[in-house]
Amino acid sequence: MREIVLDTETTGFEPSEGHRIVEIGAVELFNHMPTGRTYHQYINPERMMPKEAFEVHGLGDDFLRDKPVFKSVARSFLEFVGEATLVIHNASFDMKFLNAELQALGHPGLPMSQALDTVGLARKKFPGAPASLDALCRRFGIDNSSREKHGALLDSELLAEVYLELIGGRQPDFGLATAAAQTAANQRSTQAGRARPRPQPLPPRLTEDEANAHQAMIGKMGEAAVWLKRV
């Protein structure tokens, strides 16, 4: 099962008011395990950056001026996403921006049924508790100290860890079953190669005189003799 953990940064809250996407970050999971593949793109929004948005993510006009516009990255983004489930924190926000950008290019957009909202997962698992990304990182002991400002790729990487905790931990069951089977096979192999006890013990090679001499030597060493200690 392929999933894409995704986050965006924007110039504001509503695409209907002319706000645009300025950054997309995404992490690929396969069977709930990170594959190492990521998608990251800064985007020129073709408009001025409001001060309030800049204070959130730190992406200003000068930095974004030479970045590609959404039209030039749309194909690579859609190819990366494919038909995978999109794991998003507050999915309705990011999906409305992505679809506004895609629909402006004549694309039908991404169906909401393709998105999985981790805010909903968190509220269902921890009713009444804070469900922000920072709060969930604290709950699960995930280091988010580098998150001084919002960043799409960093936030998607943190969200991937949070998501795996929300669904039952970062060590999925399918891996444990394989490991258990391998351990059992190793134990069978070890037991098969282990020497078995002899039906009849071999006769001792120590003569009676040698045994008596050994006991006499131990007697001279006193109670501290190592041979008298039991493990």
Q: Where are the beta strands (DSSP E) in the chain?
A: 2-10, 21-30, 33-42, 85-88, 115-117
Q: Is the pLDDT of residue 190 over 70?
A: no
d(CA 15, CA 84) in angstroms, rounded, equals: 24
Identify whether the C-beta of residue 10 lies closer than 8 Å to the C-beta of residue 46: no
Task: Give 114 or 181, the one with higher predicted confidence.
Answer: 114
pLDDT band at residue 110 under the 50/70/90 scheme? very high
- Lowest-pLDDT range of 33-37, 176-180, 181-185, 208-212: 176-180
Alpha carbon distance 113, 30 (integer Å): 19
Q: Which residues are catalytic?
A: 150
d(CA 40, CA 82): 15
pLDDT above 70: residue 63: yes
Residue 21 forms beta bridges with which residues?
Answer: 10
Q: Considering only residues 87 and 229, tell me which one the structure prediction assigns the higher pLDDT.
A: 87
Cβ-based burial of 158 (10 A; exposed 0-12, middle 13-18, buried ≥19): buried
Distance CA 117, CA 91 (A): 5
What is the C-alpha separation between 149 and 136, in angstroms, rounded?
17
| Residue 101 · residue 20 · CB < 8 Å | yes
Phi first, then psi, for residue 2 (nearest 5°) are -100, 130
pLDDT band of residue 72 (cuts 50, 70, 90) is very high
Give Cβ neighbours of residue 23 (< 8 Å, ≥ 6 apart). 8, 9, 40, 41, 42, 43, 57, 59, 151, 152, 153
Q: What is the pLDDT of residues 73-103, one digit of tens each?
A: 999 999 999 999 999 999 999 999 999 999 9
Per domain, the residue ranges of the chain are: 2-168
Closest alpha carbon to 98 in 158, 147, 162, 25: 25
Give the CATH number of domain 2-168. Answer: 3.30.420.10
